[in-house]
Amino acid sequence: MCGIAGIYNPEGLFIDKHIIGRMSWSIRHRGPDAEGYHFDSHAHMASRRLSIIDLNQGAQPIYSRDKKHVIVYNGEIYNYREVKKKLLKKGFHFTTDTDTEVILAAFLAWGEDSLSFLRGMFAFCIWNYETRELFLARDRLGIKPLYYALQKDGTFIFASEVKALLLYPGIKRELYPKAINNLLTFGFNTAPFTFFNGIKQVLPGHFLNVSKKGLVETEYWDIDLDSHEIKDPPEEIAIRLREEISRSVKSRLIADVPIAAYLSGGIDSSIITGMYSGFANKIKTISINFDHAGYDESEYSREVSRAFKTEHVEFKCEIEDDRINDLVYYMEDPLLTLLNLPLFLLSEKASQNGFKVVLSGDGADEIFGGYDYFRLLKVMRFIRNDESAFRKNLLRRIFPKLKNFISTEIQYLFLKGYSDMYPALPYKYMEFPFKYEMYSGEYLSMLSKLDFDSPFFFDLEKISRRSFIDQALYIEIKMRLLNLTLPLADKMSMANSVELRTPFLDHDLVNFAFRIPDKYKIRGLNEKYILKKSMQGFLPERICKRKKQPLQPPGRWFINAHYDLIRDYLSDAAVRSKGYFNPDFIQNALCKYNNEMKIDYSGVVIVAFFIHLWDEIFLRNKVGLYSEPEPADFQEMLGGLVP
């Protein structure tokens, strides 16, 4: 399943069937690989399906036997056959072998409690014809997206993609006023908000009840922070962790289509590749190379491929000007970086090689402490309490670019100024350095009249009793994972009709990780220590020891490769017309981005370019957002399904 959409109006007002049809058509429409269009004119719900399980009988919506309930669903439930056995014992009958039908039956059997039985990624809606109520749920960690808008007249619209909601006449194409500032402050906009005014996302681990009484949102799951810390020696913890990862990988191999694995040569993707190879014969792995980046990971991915005897596909990271629109169109948000580019190209390559499902190592950094700023948190304890040169110089272990005493001292003073903020420090530290210089006077004036969004939709008090590392990991999962890592993974893969599965984000594995003492997650300044230890003797030795390398093309290369396009979008006239940025500062960045200077302006150019491109696509509709078939085409396209 690759997308859902729906409209609910408590007054029973007439809803044009073409609107819901066009909404659903925009959902995950990916050309010939996106199979099957399904429509329910009574519940005003629709789905567009990428068939993974039960290819012949998986059409949606699926109805209960008494026709009183109907479901549309996006995702995969990896334990649906185990849940199905429980339901068969309770007297339920099934006409398909789909997880969709199992979710509906589970809801009829256990109501809201049915969510506790489901292991996987999902966003679904169940409509009750008798009570006229909608029930919507999103998976525990937010792997699958689910957006909604509530209109003043009570009309509730939901979909797996924002662009589907924009087709509804009552929703205006407007920028959420704080979105750009959130992006440049935290590195992403923050949930539950989106870049679009009036459109929100359902929070992970939450469900919604929608009825004539209104909308009620309820949390049904959170990371278990009350569980006891594991007291076993690290050797035993490592063995248990390896078993947990193996179990999670095995459960995600359920499919009636071939499965590939992304392989960068880093420890996370190497673990998934190695585990997968133990459950299958010849597997295929896919890597992307950045030969223009000053570093080359291909030797590492090839080493892992040889170790596990995979059929390996490599290709270079490059894209034509006329396809850059896709990076924003499918992402639906502008980004600070180019992380969307390699992920988009990887899924395209997977699709070209005949794969609809791919395994990835996403999530390991967030649950085991794989980023540099987790090490920074440990150093902060020294910075707060001791100003010795030795302790300041620990910063050089984290920031290799600090070449001398002066640069180290500046970094130290900067961090000390924010030392009271940690464990939320990473998000302040990662604030875009040129943010206020970039803003136009108009945008700054608008911001000054608004309250800032709190990035924390969760209760910080309940994590205060945990260690600083665990607090930071919790915040990381609730913020970066939700607002950046997972949307990138899902949207860039589904853009090419590929379903991405993330074994590290099994909720039981996440809870297990939070029981591991943080001294084993980051030992000294060695990040992901326990994860690396668990793979000793399984992965090639130097894969476990190598330093993390982000999967990201260099900014200067991208600008040089697409300079004319970027210059057009960031012309003085364009910058003044949109009003977000200071045109003089942007022109200065365009002139200096490629200079070998201490100040790197390439980030300024890239984020401004993507924000302008987003504006053109979604607010001004100049890049074909509404290029779906005309309403008159739907009767023929649906084969008479719409009465």
| Catalytic site positions | 2
Peptide bond into 61 cis (omega under 30): yes
Q: How many CA atoms lie within 13 A of 253 on its CB side?
A: 17
Residues β-bridged to residue 6? 45, 158
| C-alpha span between 252 and 319 (Å, rounded) | 31
Q: How many CA atoms lie within 13 A of 453 on its CB side?
A: 22
Phi, psi dihedral angles at 431 (to 5 degrees): -55, 135
How many Cβ atoms are within 10 Å of 626's Cβ, its own excluded? 11
Contact 72, 47 (CB under 8 A): yes
Q: In which residue are the tokens 């910058």 written?
A: 575
Chain centroid to CA 340: 11
| C-alpha span between 71 and 63 (Å, rounded) | 7
Classify each residue of 396-408 as buried b or exposed e, where b means 16 or more C-beta atoms within 10 Å of its C-beta.
Answer: eebeeebeeeeeb
How many Cβ atoms are within 10 Å of 606's Cβ, its own excluded? 22
Residues 6+ apart with CB under 8 A from 124: 4, 71, 72, 73, 74, 75, 100, 103, 136, 137
| C-alpha span between 557 and 623 (Å, rounded) | 24
Contact 264, 301 (CB under 8 A): yes
Strands 259-262 and 133-138: unpaired
Q: How many CA atoms lie within 13 A of 8 on its CB side?
A: 26
Q: In which residue are the tokens 């909608």 written?
A: 134
